[in-house]
Every structure is written in C-alpha cells, then in structure tokens.
Homo-oligomer: A and B are copies of this chain.
Amino acid sequence: MNIEERLVKGDKRACARLISMLENKEEEALTILKRLYKHTGNAYVIGITGPPGSGKSTLTDRLTKELRKMDKKVGIIAVDPTSPFTGGALLGDRIRMKDLATDKGVFIRSMGTRGALGGMSKAAWGAIKVLDIYGADYIFVETVGVGQSEVDIVKIADTVLMVLVPNLGDDIQAIKAGIMEIADVFAINKADLEGADRTQLEIEMNLDLDTKKDYRPPVVKVSASRNENIDGLFNSLMEHRRYQEETGQLIERRKRNIKFELVKLVEEELMDLIMNRVLEEDLLDNLSEEIVLKSLDPYSARDKILKLIR
C-alpha cells in the first residue's frame, strides 16, 4: 500500500510521515492532501491556547482521556511557533503524555518550525487535515503563547478553548483584550490557587460587555493536575459543539475558517516567492549599508524595492 492508502486506513506511521513532509515543505504532501481532501470533515477540531505555564498540555491529556472512555479516536497537535524542534517528543510536556502515546486510539505530534516565515500555520493546518483523513474523531491543536501567530493557528478550530490561570497580574488585561472574541470556552486552570475567583470575575465582566451574541462562553474552573472538574469542562466543550450544530453555525464557521486559511495560504506562498526570487542578498546588503550611513532611510529603500518588484 502507498502512503495515501495507508493514511485513509488509519495508519499512524503514514500520518507521521505526511506531517513531516508538510513541515519540510515538500510539494508532494500538498499533492496528496489535494487528492484526499474529500475524506476530511469528520473530525471536530478543538483549539487550545493560553499563556505559558497555564497547564494546557495536562488539560489536553485529561480531556483526551474523557474522549477515550467514549472510544473516540483522538489526534493531538502541539504547536510551538518558536521552537526549533520538530517531529516528536522533545518537549517536556510531551513526555508527560507517555501513557497516551502508547494508546492505539491516540496520535500525538509536536510541531515547531522556528524561523519558517509564517509557515507554521500552513503546516499545522495541513496536519489537521492529515489527522482528519487518518480518522480522528477529535483533534486538539495546542499552542503556547498569546501572540498573533498563536491566535492564527487556533483560529480555524471548531471550538477554541482558552486556558488561563489565577494571578497573571496586569498582563491579564492584554490577554483578555486579545482573545475575548476568539474563545468559545474559558478554563481557569489551577483553580485551587488564590485569585481564581477574581480572574473568573474579570472574565465574566468582560463577557457582560458583549450582549450581542446569543451564545455566552462559559468560564469553567478546573484543576488539571488534581483532576478536578475535568468532566465539567468537557461538557462545556461538547455543549458548544451541540449549540453550533443545532443552530447551523458550525457550517458557517467552517466556511469563515476556510476563507481565512485560503487568504493565509496565498499570503505565505507569495511571500515565499518574493523572498526567494526578488529580494537578493546583495541588494539588501547594499541598501542596509546606505541606511546605516543615513544616506538613505528605510522607507525610501522599501519604495525602491517595491518599484523593482513591479
């Protein structure tokens, strides 16, 4: 059997191989995904994001176990946009998942391609499709951080779970501002710590401001490490799925997500083309030299390059 047939049959190694090909930007991987695209659509994708140290991995671990009780096949993609590590269990948090890694119904993959010019979301989104074709019922996409690239990655999920912890200090303002409208469910992890109630209150107050929506994201207190209220969080996620399916919003959301992905795919491809063909090192070096010497400014240099491209 070739890799395509093996993937459709649910072969884990075919899955791993194809994701590696995506990371390495092998055109062949896209050709395969083009052919197999019609096999996608079964998986429900849950994006998990939150600041470093909020315990996203342990939480993913726990939620996966809930799904395994229901005999659901689960795929986990842990994306770290700043990590140079690819293809495996190098990250500390992956090691914790050892018991899941040996579970036949679970596929786990860490992805990181530091330096890839915006190529991270492309690879992660490709990996979601691979896991969908492979036969996962649920796919968790986990990203470290709260920046724009992390938001981009989880933006195409069917449900976005934001994990926060008490005592984030003033930065909670910034985090809230950035993710209030992309989160469908909030989890306050490490809820046994002092300050959990205040964090919950802050989020609820922000949600109060948005009275337009008929769906209000729940704010669920959990403790992943103590295994407390995981079922409560799980139910909130399933509730959001049900809500979207019953109102027809899921299909609308998927259309929006696809549009977003398409724009990003075009963007990334164009940047690749320009970087590799137009912006030659010599040209850049000469212009930078002039700028340092103040005989040119960066904006006029930019204009010069743009003229060349046209």
Taking a contact as CB atoms closer than 8 A, the residue among B52, B54, B267, B274 that contacts A266 in the complex is: B274
A168 adjacent to B275 (CB under 8 Å): no
A67-107 vs B: 1/0 string, CB under 8 Å? 00000000000001111110000011100100000000000
Residue A262, interface by CB 8 Å? yes
Residue A285, interface by CB 8 Å? yes
B266 adjacent to A55 (CB under 8 Å): no
A269-296 vs B: 1/0 string, CB under 8 Å? 1110011000100001101110110100
Residue A124, interface by CB 8 Å? no
Taking a contact as CB atoms closer than 8 A, the residue among B53, B83, B175 that contacts A169 in the complex is: B53
B254 adjacent to A292 (CB under 8 Å): yes
Q: Name the residue of chain B whose CB is nearest to the CB of A30.
A: B299
Residue A148, interface by CB 8 Å? yes
Residue A305, interface by CB 8 Å? yes
Most central of A30, A34, A170 by chain B CB within 10 Å: A170
A178 adjacent to B289 (CB under 8 Å): no
Q: How distant is the Cα of A37 from the Cα of B300 in the complex, in angstroms?
A: 10
Query: Which residues of chain A (141-174) have a CB below 8 Å from chain B?
Result: 144-151, 167-174
Q: How distant is the Cα of A298 from the Cα of B54 in the complex, in angstroms?
A: 33
Residue A51, interface by CB 8 Å? yes
A299 adjacent to B33 (CB under 8 Å): yes
* Nearest chain B CB to A275 CB, angstrom units: 7
- Given A92-B173, A179-B82, do A53 and B167 touch, yes or no (CB 8 Å)? yes
Q: Return chain B residues, CB-CB under 8 Å to A81.
A: 147-148, 178
Q: Name the residue of chain B whose CB is nearest to the CB of A271.
A: B267
B289 adjacent to A144 (CB under 8 Å): no
* Nearest chain B CB to A139 CB, angstrom units: 16
B147 adjacent to A83 (CB under 8 Å): no
Taking a contact as CB atoms closer than 8 A, the residue among B57, B148, B172, B284 that contacts A259 in the complex is: B284
* Nearest chain B CB to A213 CB, angstrom units: 17
Residue A238, interface by CB 8 Å? no
Query: Which residues of chain A (46-63) have a CB below 8 Å from chain B?
Result: 51-55, 57
A34-B299, A40-B294, A145-B147 given; name 9 further pairs at CB < 8 Å.
A51-B53, A52-B52, A80-B177, A91-B174, A93-B171, A146-B147, A255-B292, A267-B274, A269-B302
Interface residues of A (CB under 8 A from B): 30, 33-34, 37-38, 40-41, 51-55, 57, 80-85, 91-93, 96, 112, 114, 120, 144-151, 167-175, 177-179, 251, 254-256, 258-259, 261-263, 265-267, 269-271, 274-275, 279, 284-285, 287-289, 291-292, 294, 297-302, 305-306, 309
Q: Return 26 A-B CB contacts under 8 Å, by A number.
A: A30-B299, A34-B299, A37-B298, A52-B171, A53-B172, A54-B171, A82-B174, A82-B179, A83-B177, A91-B170, A91-B173, A91-B174, A120-B148, A145-B147, A147-B149, A149-B149, A251-B292, A258-B292, A259-B288, A262-B284, A262-B305, A265-B301, A266-B305, A266-B309, A267-B274, A270-B271
